[in-house]
């Protein structure tokens, strides 16, 4: 299973980016054979529809599972339609989030836990 974690930097020691649609990077690995690849998120610079754009990118890369902090309704709709599993509430570093997932500590979500545009302005409120 190919798994993607939203991240603030391009290493497994980088912090998990709580924002899905406007995260800086994705750390991608196979669940069975840990081998990390880091990609810049094209959605970070989208004028609008960032979550949708980001989700399309993960669909194109044949990702099957996403770990993130918060995700909005449009992005969730795309991932659900594509059959991609979404686990929310990930925190700490990429490595820690991967461990949280492996230890069953993250919640499988089917609905959004963020409002549209929440990730604008680095997620500050």
Interface residue list for other proteins (CB under 8 A): 46-50, 52-53, 55-56, 59-60, 74, 77-78, 81-82
**What is the dihedral sign for C-alpha 88, 38, 118, 15?**
positive
How far apart are alpha carbons 8 and 104 in whole angstroms? 23
CB of 46 to other proteins, least distance (A): 6
CB of 52 to other proteins, least distance (A): 4
CB of 49 to other proteins, least distance (A): 3
CB of 24 to other proteins, least distance (A): 18
- CA proximity to 38, closest of 24, 18, 56, 17: 24
Cβ proximity to other proteins, 39 vs 77, nearer residue: 77
Cβ proximity to other proteins, 4 vs 94, nearer residue: 4
Cβ proximity to other proteins, 81 vs 107, nearer residue: 81
If phi > 0 it is left, if psi is from -120 to 50 it is alpha, else beta; for residue 22 that is alpha
């Amino acid at each position: 299973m190919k798994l993607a974690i939203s991240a603030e930097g391009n290493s497994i020691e980088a912090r998990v980016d709580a924002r899905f649609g406007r995260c800086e990077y994705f750390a991608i690995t196979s669940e069975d054979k840990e081998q990390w690849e880091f990609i810049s998120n094209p959605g970070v610079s989208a004028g609008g529809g960032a979550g949708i754009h980001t989700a399309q990118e993960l669909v194109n890369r044949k990702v099957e599972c996403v770990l993130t902090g918060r995700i909005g309704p449009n992005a969730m709709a795309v991932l659900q339609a594509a059959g991609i599993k979404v686990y929310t509430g990930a925190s700490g570093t990429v490595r820690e989030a991967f461990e949280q997932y492996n230890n069953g500590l993250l919640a499988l979500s089917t609905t959004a836990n963020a409002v549209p545009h929440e990730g604008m302005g680095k997620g500050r409120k």
